[in-house]
Amino acid sequence: MSVDIEQDLDASAPIWATFGDLMSVLLGAFVLILVGVIGVQLQLETKLDQEIAQRKAEERRRQTLEQALAGPLAAGRITLVDGRIGIRGSVLFALNSDQLQPEGRDVLRSLAGPLAGYLHARDELLMVSGFTDDRAVHDGNRRFADNWELSAQRALTVTRALVDEGVPADSVFAAAFGAQQPVDRNDSEDGRARNRRVEMAPVPRRAPATMATEAADAR
């Protein structure tokens, strides 16, 4: 009888060994899955932390810019929306003109100092963008072929005025959008007046062409 028992033990031994191997494989797979889940969670937490840090940095950037422009903002001479400084075209230029009006030059003079200090502290560039309404250009001298050219010349005029007032030339550049990217409808005089504008926005110090493309895509 003892022989039979020994034979049964010998027969069952491979089964338990196989079962043990299977459990080891399952345990290894579980550990790998757990490690993978933990890794994904850590990546998500890192990404979330980065997004939070980026938002805080953007908020500090906005607050710094608002503080730098507190005077012109309080006087109602400019607007500041999402980091973009806006000036109505009627403040800067007469209709269909790229020549600065006295009030416009005063506004730019008040902005130059704060902007130069802000750009220097953050090592950023200032993009000056010109916009028009959708009406065809009608100037007696026919200086501008279309709204693209008018918006380009206005942006250049503002850029040069800022440089004359102390903004470093290597910290500012001009961009033209013509009648594209309106902020209001063009079916009323007030709407068209809002669309005739110049905007200035601090941007990272990268290639100007790349920044102009990114700014257009973000609108």
Q: What is the pLDDT along the chain (219 residues), one digit of tens a residue?
A: 554 545 554 555 566 667 666 777 777 777 888 888 888 888 888 888 888 887 787 777 777 777 777 888 887 788 888 889 999 888 999 988 899 999 999 999 989 988 998 888 888 999 999 999 999 887 656 788 899 999 999 999 999 999 999 999 999 999 999 999 999 999 899 899 899 999 999 998 875 555 555 555 555
Token pair in block for residue 71: 């005077």
What does the pLDDT read at residue 210? 57
69-218 adopts what CATH topology? 60s Ribosomal Protein L30; Chain: A; (3.30.1330)
What does the pLDDT read at residue 143? 80
pTM, rounded to two decimals: 0.67
Sign, CA dihedral 83-132-152-207, equals positive
What does the pLDDT read at residue 20? 67
Strands 84-88 and 197-203: antiparallel
What does the pLDDT read at residue 216? 57
Token pair in block for residue 202: 């601090």
The CA distance from 69 to 80, in Å, is: 9
What does the pLDDT read at residue 102? 93
Smallest CA-to-CA distance from 157 within 105, 208, 114, 112 is with: 105
The CA distance from 124 to 122, in Å, is: 5
Domain boundaries of the chain, sorted by first residue: 1-58, 69-218
What does the pLDDT read at residue 42? 81
